[in-house]
Every structure is written in C-alpha cells, then in structure tokens.
Amino acid sequence: MKKISETAAKITALDREAIKSAQARLDSLTKPQASLGRLEELAKQVAGITGKLNPPLKNKVIFTLAADHGIAREGVSAFPQEVTVQMVYNFLRGGAGINVLARHVGARVVVADMGVAGEIQSSKFKAQNFKDKKVDFGTKNFTQQPAMTKDQAIKAICAGIEIFEEELVTGIDIAGTGDMGIANTASSSAIVASITGTAVGDVTGRGTGIDDKALQNKIKLLEQALKLHKPDAKDALDVLSKVGGFEIGGLAGIILAAAAHKVPVVIDGFISGAAALLAYTLCPKAKDYMIAAHCSVERGHRIALEFMGLEPILDLDLRLGEGTGAALAMNIVDAAVKIMNEMATFESAQVSEKNN
C-alpha cells in the first residue's frame, strides 16, 4: 500500500503555464482560432501533462496485461478460458490485432502475465517484451467469494506501477493501456456499477458476443455478486478485491505511474475504463493525465467515461480490447502535438490575420 500511496502523492495538477503557452502558440497559427477543435485541446493537455510546449512523442508504449477470471466458469463469455493463455502467445508472436496496430503507429507492446490460469513459456519465443507479474492463477469466482484478497489487490496495482517504471528506463513519451482476459467484461461491469452507482443492467454488455439468454444470466449473476459483497464505492481496493481482476488492478497501477511521471496515458476500451475508474478513485488528479481513446460498444464504457468527465476521441464500434483503440488514438494525439509545433504562424508565413 505504501508504493500506491507514494505514487499517488507524486501526481500533481497540470502545468498551467505550459497550457497557457500552448494556447498562445495555437492561436498564432495560420488558421481561425480553435478551428482544429479537439486536436487543439489534446495539444494543450499534453503540454500541461509534460510541462513542455514541444514534447517528444517518439517512445509510444502499449501495456497489454493479461489475467483469468474465476467467474468464467459461470458461462459469461462466448469463449473458453484457455483462450487467455493462447492469446498471450499470439501477442508474443506479434500476430494479434494490437501488434498490427502498434506497428502501424510505431509503438512497442509490453505484455504482462498478471494472473493467467497457466504458465506462460515465454522463453521459447525469446520475448524481450514479456513480464511475469503473476499474482495468482486467476481470480476466484466472485459470485461465491471475493475475487481476491486485499493483499492481492494491492500486489496487482503495485505490479502495474513496477511494469511502467521498469519500461520508463527505456523511455516512454506516451503510454496506452490494453487487456486480455476471458470474462473480464463481467468484472469490469461489476466495478463500473459499484463505483458509479449505476444499475448492473445498464453497464453490462455482451462481451465476446454472448446471446440474449447468456446476457440475462450475466446480469443476474453480477447483481447477486454485488448484493453479496457490497463493495464500497469510495474504496478502490475494496471494489477490486471483491469483484475485480488482476489485469484490471495492474492497469490501474500503470495509469497512476504514468500520471506520477507526467506521461500522458491513452485509455483503451471498457476494461481499461474500469481500471481508470479505480485509479481515479484512488487519486482523482490522475484523471487529468488520461486521454480516452474511444467509446466501446460495451454499454458501461461511456458511463465510466462520463463519470470521470472524459470525452473519447474515436467511436468506431470497437470491442476487442488489447489496446487496439489506444494505439489508433495515439496517432491522433501525436498529430495534435505536431500541428502545434510544425504549423506555420501568421508571422512566419507572412499571412494576414483577421481584421480587428
């Protein structure tokens, strides 16, 4: 818990002078003021986060964290649990959606086993981008007992902080969050319902594509679990330990560490949104360092974003996770910063400004 508290204590308000300078720069460019809309807002946010008018965004990193969930045994996913470990191998081979999109935007993917229900034999891939931070071999079935102990919840968040800080040595200019874990939309729905106070039915979606009958069963199970455990909405560790997942806790740690080190962090989809809610509950100031990549098809994602006051950049009907939306949005954030720094000013281009 000490590591979490120390990390949160390092998170400060954004640099207002840098934001002011960024606004002045944007207003001097050869365009009508505010005509590039969200791009200008993103440029100012990144300036405020980094304290720099021309922050480098060369080192892009997507953190894809994987873990299994005991509630998968209740039939809340269209895919079997063994898919989690299989997909980790796919990440390490470079064949998953996130690998393709990360290559497209020039990002590196860091894969971590936070709690996969099996051993990952990463050595046979000679993977340099794999981290073994396993807390346990999957969570417990939280319809019957807490998903994890309080100590495991702390360990998961601390592991996320460690992963970020280990990679920081290599260089991180902008980070993105991603996930893999069969049944993790069930945990995310429970987290979002707990923290926002929204009805389970309003935040629970089809995940990997379950049918109507399975969806109703999923909602019923989550309602029963919340009634059983009564998570404390103001206590992120209580929520995580009772209905969360190890990868979700790890992602919350990634977000806190990014904010503590003044690195913009692009939040992916629903699972990342649930992790962001946990980080926000632990330290509300962390929200200013978050950039919402997109709005997932999962109905609870927008509710989570609205609760934190975050507006997604994209809306492409995505629901894959892995960090795919974060990778796409990174490109837009990069473009926003380049506009601010590479576009000519009225003065340098000798273009007449508007009449006063």
| Chain segment 222-256, per-residue pLDDT in tens | 999 999 999 999 999 999 999 999 999 999 999 99
The chain-wide mean pLDDT, for the chain, equals 96
Q: Would you state the pLDDT for residue 356? A: 53
pLDDT at 349: 80
Q: What is the pLDDT of residue 328?
A: 98
Rounded CA separation 243/222 (Å): 9
What are the residues whose beta carbons fall under 8 Å from the beta carbon of 113, sequence distance 6 or more? 66, 67, 88, 120, 130, 131, 132, 133, 134
pLDDT at residue 171 is higher than 70 = yes
Residue 82 exposure: Cα atoms within 13 Å on the Cβ side: 0
Mean pLDDT calculated for residue range 315-325: 96
pLDDT of residue 1: 83
pLDDT at 351: 81
> How much is the pLDDT for 280?
98
Task: Indicate the domain borders of the chain.
Answer: 2-54+340-349, 60-119+129-335
Catalytic residue, candidates 40, 167, 298, 322: 322
Planar angle of CA 197, 202, 204, nearest 5 degrees? 105
Indicate the CATH number of 2-54+340-349 among 3.40.630.150, 1.10.1610.10, 3.40.50.11260, 3.30.465.10. 1.10.1610.10
Beta strands in the chain (DSSP E): 60-67, 107-115, 130-132, 174-180, 265-267, 290-292
Average the pLDDT over 48-70 and give the result: 96
CATH 3.40.50.10210 assigned to domain 60-119+129-335? The reply is yes
Question: Percentage of the chain with pLDDT > 90?
Answer: 93
Residues present in the chain in total: 356
CB neighbour list of residue 144: distance below 8 Å, 6 or more residues apart? none
pLDDT tens digits along 62-94: 999 999 999 999 999 999 999 999 999 999 999
Q: How many CA atoms lie within 13 A of 23 on its CB side?
A: 8
Mean predicted confidence (pLDDT) in 264-290:
98
Average pLDDT over residues 308-319: 97
What stretches of 169-199 show up as alpha helix (H) in DSSP? 184-196
**Nearest one of 201, 209, 203, 178 to 76, comparing CA atoms:** 209
Residue 162 appears among annotated catalytic residues:
no
Give 28-42 pLDDT, tens digit per residue: 999 999 999 999 999
**pLDDT at residue 111, rounded to an integer:** 97
Examine the pLDDT at 128 and tell me if it is beyond 90: no
Collapsing DSSP to helix, strand or coil, 107 comes out as: strand
